[in-house]
Amino acid sequence: MTASSTRCMAPPLHGESRAASWWRILGACLLAAVFLLAASSDACVLPPPFEAMEPINPKPYYEIGEKVEYRCKKGYLRQPFYLMVATCEKNHSWVPITDDGCIKKQCTYLNPPPKGRVEYINGTRTWGDIVHFSCVEGFYVSGIAALSCELRGDNVDWNGRVPTCEKVLCSPPPKIQNGKYTFSDVQVFEYFEAVTYSCDAVQGPDKLSLVGNEVLYCAGHQKWSSAAPECKGPKPTHPTKPPVYNYPGYPNPREGIFDQELNLWIIILLILIAVVGLALILLCACRFFERKKKSPEKVMPAIQISDHMVNAPILMPSTVQNPMKR
């Protein structure tokens, strides 16, 4: 098998020295030479790289049938019954192997502290993983709440100590001016214990008002639920602005055309007119309906009289006797 020679030339990179560029060119030429040598001599090139293992005493090329042995990298642990040797085949390839025989080393198992919980974020504790600590209600984490498993040389270890869970306590709440709170003699408050604020009594009709939350409780370690309220005096009363019609030049809407008494009589008169008009309308409507009901009864007798008159005998003038003739 023959291979054509290629020129090993490459332009220098921008911002690099000429010596560094020549070293890069020399490395590329050596790599091309190794490939050409392997192709011409029926040899294998460098074995494939792996994430968890590396070859022992690697060479530029390997002859057919030659083997290369692997070992686990730092931070990995070798497992038995896994193939760690690759063989150069006649077709210039390697017998396929995997790095499943090397697994990440694990840090020691961490127990949760009293009144606390532990959570492995990725479900494992190999180097690079993180574990998170928390406490039950009424307790807080004292120390580092999150630890990571780190690689130190060929060993692994946690980057800190397991924290503890301490009881939540609060100092007395702040005092306020012209006010007080309950349980003022207590120096340490436990979780969810509460105090109530109130304002002092003052002389005079105006009393102080409490502005803010009246009840505060210990919500966390040295942390109250909200800021303390304040005792303030009555709100300043601003003088009311007089109506516009009180100013000179503006008409007073309360003054009408007539006096107030006359206006009242006019309203009463209008109401009476409306009532009388409504009564007249109802009366006319009743009479109209009564006449409509009586009209058929008057027509029937007129029809009977006309029939009688038709059936009665008609006396002719000739049949009438003159009394004078007698």
List pLDDT tens digits, range 140-158: 999 999 999 999 988 999 9
- Which residues partner with 211 through β-bridges? 230
CA distances 318 to 313, 314, 321, Å, are 14, 12, 8
For residue 317, what is the DSSP state? G
pLDDT in tens, 226-252: 999 999 986 555 556 666 556 565 555
The verdict on residue 253 lying in a domain is: no
Q: Which of 104, 137, 156 is the last residue of a domain?
A: 104
* 42-65 mean pLDDT: 85
Tokens for 70, please give them. 């692997």
> pTM of the predicted model, to two decimals?
0.53
CATH code of 205's domain: 2.10.70.10
Is residue 51 within 8 Å of 75, Cβ to Cβ?
Answer: no
* Secondary element (H or E) of residue 212: none
* Secondary element (H or E) of residue 65: none
How far is it, in rounded angstroms, from Cα 173 to Cα 8?
80
Q: What does residue 60 show for φ and ψ, rounded to 5 degrees?
A: -65, -35
For residue 245, what is the DSSP state? G
Q: Which of 189, 210, 232 is the last residue of a domain?
A: 232
How far is it, in rounded angstroms, from Cα 127 to Cα 21?
38
Q: Which residue range forms the structural domain that includes residue 223?
A: 169-232
Q: Which of 232, 255, 285 is the last residue of a domain?
A: 232
Please count the structural domains in the chain.
Answer: 3
Whether pLDDT at 313 is above 60: no
